[in-house]
Amino acid sequence: MNEEEWIPKTDLGRMVKAGEITDIEEIISKGISIREPEIVDTLLPELSNRENQEIIDINLVQRMTDSGRRVKFNVICAIGNKNGLVGLGQSKANEVGTAIRKSLNNAKLNIIRVKRGCGSWECGCGTPHSIPFKVTGRSSSVTVTLFPAPRGLGLAIGDVGKKIIKLAGIT
């Protein structure tokens, strides 16, 4: 991305382009919402690499109208720097490529910090390779629980969750 092409539309974008804010940690810690994907492109250029982007799901969605079926593609993507930052985005479009680009931009707008550490009593190495404590999340009837684990144990989770957690830097 060229900085000359980007014209910021928000105050945060103007501050990032002017160089007043140079770290995304400052934005996340203050709780400021990111409304332009170019902010993340400027502060975290490594997220533009394909190895830090993952397509989670591509789904064909149809709706019936009076003139026939209308087809759209629903895409879910995740991005992460493998050092504690991860974002998840979802988008629909008439073409797959457009839907992927839009979902990657949405993932850049939804970046969060994941707390990492060595929380297992078996390991004690002190490096941030796992989560520091047990975490439980719930949405409707699904409950997900993450436990700290020693280095080398691996992730005992499904493929979708494994992709997202690896992008966050938890091995």
Average pLDDT score over residue span 57-70? 95
- The amino acid that residue 160 corresponds to is V
Classified by CATH at the fold level, domain 115-171 comes out as: Ribosomal Protein S5; domain 2 (3.30.230)
CATH architecture observed for domain 47-113? 2-Layer Sandwich (3.30)
Residues 93 and 167: their CA atoms lie apart, in Å, by 25
Closest by CA to 90, choosing from 60, 56, 63, is 56
DSSP assignment string, 15-84: HHHHTS---HHHHHHHTPPP--HHHHHHH-GGGGSGGGEEEEEEEEEEEEETTEEEEEEEEEEEEE-SSS
pLDDT tens digits, residue range 133-155? 999 999 999 999 999 988 888 88
| Residue extents of the structural domains in the chain | 11-43, 47-113, 115-171
pLDDT tens digits, residue range 8-52? 999 999 999 999 999 999 999 999 999 999 999 999 999 989 999
Q: What is the average pLDDT score of the chain?
A: 92
Global pTM value: 0.88
For residue 41, give both structure tokens.
């492109």
